[in-house]
Amino acid sequence: MKYLLLTILFIFVPKTTPPMKFHDFKMTAIDGSTIDFESYKGKKVLLVNVASECGFTPQYEDLQNLHKEFGDKVVVLGFPANNFGGQEPGTNLAIQKFCKANYGVTFQMFEKISVAGAKRHPLYEWLNTTSGKAPDWNFCKYLLDENGQILGFYPSAVNPLDEAITSLL
């Protein structure tokens, strides 16, 4: 009986793990390589959930301009997602080709993930939990400081070159 009780407690008592930090993540880039977020320590980071068939898709150009003009102050990371309106239906290769051909994207892009719902990627779960804000459409942005702490959340309508973002760089 004692063994049964211990087994039940072991199964049903939630295991606590230390909270993950931004720099603990490792993710797959759009080209299949692994990116260790440890490499972003000491840098500000702008994370954006992107989509190729959205009214906000032209923000790719401004994200690329932010990368070019402020690349010494901020790292831009793009996360394709098909959560909103089915506006990112393509494969990783198709997304990569679209971004390069139409917007000359050279900032870091990642494989397509889910940023909302039950299958939300752990990174976006962390962003949501830490900031209290979740993307409600494509091109939502999170700005993090050099220590991986969230400085701000910006909805889709806020342009990447908006002073609300660039003033913090």
3-state secondary structure of 120: coil
Beta partners for 74? Answer: 44
What is the dihedral angle through the alpha carbons of 100, 102, 108, 109, rounded to the nearest 10 degrees? Answer: -100
What are the structure tokens assigned to 16, written together?
Answer: 């606590």
What are the structure tokens assigned to 167, written together?
Answer: 């003033």
3-state secondary structure of 64: helix
- The residues annotated with a catalytic role in the active site are 54
